[in-house]
Structure 1
Amino acid sequence: MTSIAVLPRRTAVAILLSLGTLFAANHVAARLAFDDQAGLLLAIVCRSGLTLLALAGFVLWRQPRLRLASGLIKWQIVLGLLIALQSLCLYSAVARIPVALALLIGNTFPILLALLTWALGGSRPTRRACLLMGLILCGLILVLDLPAWLSASGPMTPAWKAGIGFAFMSACVFACALWITEHRLSTLPGAVRSLYTILIVFCGMLVAGAAGVLPGGMNPPASGLGWAALATLSVLYATAFTILFVFVPRLDMARNAPVMNIEPVASLLFGWLLLDQIFGGLQLLGGAVVLGGIVLLAYSKRR
């Protein structure tokens, strides 16, 4: 079997930085669409539908075997449903709190994955990993500005409570999805797993919309700006996901994956430029602590 040539590290890092920026822009575009009354389910349907078309074209070109072993079918369905739920939770958070804050909380999934793996019989987190997890949690306390809320000088509104809860739930669900991917579907080719996962997300959101599970979930935007934002988020996500999917065998992800944590940083910039979302100095420091801890945790795990 011919090995796939890995791209030079500078090229790989540049691609991952670009992809992280595209994913961040997708979430900012989603917030613009939600502010224009677009439904959460509609946004995910548009996003996953366009991505499904792109992946289907790639799979038809490569022509892998699409049949699943009987023991993998149930885990593939569970994975697809978890990713659908994670998408809904993250977009629900983006609709309520600043985009960068939602992504920072959502990106704590490595902590939850390490704890879940340990709880299910995997290796225990090292002392270094535990210290880094504690550092990340301290950074989150600063980002969330908990001291101000506790002193009643910055009360937490119901929307913020819900947004923070949805962001944390997205991290929990994504950690579960990654555990299933690593421990139950690791033998399944990435092309097949990704195609079926996006297909389940797309169909699941359509069914949820038709059943009225989420009131207003399929509402169209109120103006042309909302439609433009909806189209933009779909194109950005489909482009980033497809490029990542195609190039991932050549990006040396075991070494370079932490570069993708540029996403919250890019969303902070886009949120400031397009949404007037501004953080205080202490919150910015907390965000830097969270990102630094996540990157160090990712690199230490790979070593």
Structure 2
Amino acid sequence: MQQNPITDPARLGLATLGVVAASVGFGLVPLFARGLTEGGMAPQAVALYRYVLASAVLAPFVWRCRRQWPTLVWGLATGVLMAQGWVAYVRAIEVVPVSTAGVLYMTYPAFTLALSWLLFGDRPARRSMVAAGMIVVAAAIVMTPGAVDPALIPLLLLSLAAPAGFGLGISVLVHRMPAIPPLARIGIVSMGSVLGLLPLVQATPAAALLPADPHGWLLVLGIGLGTALVPQLIYTVCSPVIGTARTAVAGSIELPVMFAVGWLAFGEPLGGAQAVACLLVLAAIALTPARQARSIAAQHDQR
């Protein structure tokens, strides 16, 4: 579906700021997630709190689309898989630098291209393939033994399930779910994520499911509202206004925000490997601005 970006400068500027603000919210995930896990909460519980609010708020939009149940089943299954990957990501940021985990998470465009090609025969353009290669190189740089403790490499590899799951989500939403409204897409995928997390949550001790103090409840509210529901809604409204090209460039602020969180909130130094990897990822995003929207509810181009 080809977008027709608005040309009014004021509206363009406001929508661009909206995408930037939403992407800042996405980039703040480690701040809330690590705060909760350090307080004793299990990673699967952290993931559940991120998705459950959107599921509840957007359930009416999903219900309106109930006759399109085959499409909803695609979204539900996608959410189940995405949730498993997000748990792996939360586990990774417990022990590895946020900047390293952030670079690995930003490999999702490469997974999107590969999975769209493999599952739906959507062959990527040459520039997209070059950009995907740059992202893979960036991931390799931050995982070299000189850049990270070799003992953590298996955990980092496991955390790649998060961008792989998100890449799968984008592929399915582009090729199987354009028939339902964006808010219903967010809702059904969030519901699938909650469904996928329930078995893990049920096997978790009760003490690891609830915040230990009022500050923990504020973090729960922050991760549900500030990094998921509100940014997703803003992104859904603003990204079609400015088109995928400007959306991708404006949304690339998410990675520097992750770097800033690691540095300012957790005192993590930024090494040369992380800096080079960050530049590679940002360059790759600028090189291929099409169809790599951050929000699962954003409109996507069909080339």
Identify the residue that residue 163 of structure 2 maps to in structure 1: 171
The total of aligned residue pairs comes to 288
User: How far apart, CA to CA, are the structure 1 residues paired with 2:54 and 2:167?
Assistant: 22
Task: Give the residue type in structure 1 aligned to 2:146.
Answer: A
Task: Give the residue type in structure 2 aligned to 1:105.
Answer: L
Identify the residue that residue 148 of structure 1 maps to in structure 2: 146
Residue 16, structure 1, aligned to residue 23, structure 2 = no
User: How far apart, CA to CA, are the structure 1 residues paired with 2:291 and 2:66?
Assistant: 37
User: How far apart, CA to CA, are the structure 2 residues paired with 1:50 and 1:67?
Assistant: 20
CA RMSD across the alignment:
3.1
1:12 alignment partner, SS class: helix
Cα deviations by residue, 1:97-153 (Å, 9 ceiling, x for unpaired): 222322221221211222222233524334433333332222233333x1626xxxx
Cα deviations by residue, 1:13-62 (Å, 9 ceiling, x for unpaired): 211111111111232111111112112222222222222344347x4xxx
Shift in Å, 1:266: 0.6
Show structure 1 runs of 5+ residues with no match.
Answer: none
Identify the residue that residue 122 of structure 1 maps to in structure 2: 121
The structure with more radius of gyration? 1
Identify the residue that residue 280 of structure 1 maps to in structure 2: 271
User: How far apart, CA to CA, are the structure 1 residues paired with 2:47 and 2:207?
Assistant: 10
User: How far apart, CA to CA, are the structure 1 residues paired with 2:51 and 2:95?
Assistant: 22
Taking structure 1 as the reference length, the TM-score comes to: 0.81
Task: Give the residue type in structure 2 aligned to 1:156.
Answer: P
User: How far apart, CA to CA, are the structure 2 residues paired with 1:77 and 1:123?
Assistant: 22
User: How far apart, CA to CA, are the structure 1 residues paired with 2:171 and 2:149?
Assistant: 36
Identify the residue that residue 52 of structure 2 maps to in structure 1: 49
Identify the residue that residue 172 of structure 2 maps to in structure 1: 180
Distance 1:70 1:253, change over 3 A: same
Runs of 4 or more off by more than 6 Å in structure 1?
A: 300-303
Kept in 1: contact 2:105–2:160 (CA 8 A): yes
Kept in 1: contact 2:246–2:289 (CA 8 A): no
User: How far apart, CA to CA, are the structure 2 residues paired with 1:248 and 1:126?
Assistant: 22
User: How far apart, CA to CA, are the structure 2 residues paired with 1:299 and 1:184?
Assistant: 18
Shift in Å, 1:176: 1.6
Matches within 5 A, 1:26-65: 26-56=29-59, 59=61, 65=64
Show structure 2 runs of 5+ residues with no match.
Answer: 293-300
Identify the residue that residue 232 of structure 1 maps to in structure 2: 222
2:141 alignment partner, SS class: helix
Identify the residue that residue 200 of structure 1 maps to in structure 2: 192
User: How far apart, CA to CA, are the structure 1 residues paired with 2:34 and 2:217?
Assistant: 12
Shift in Å, 1:274: 0.8
Kept in 2: contact 1:24–1:266 (CA 8 A): yes
Give the % identical residues: 22
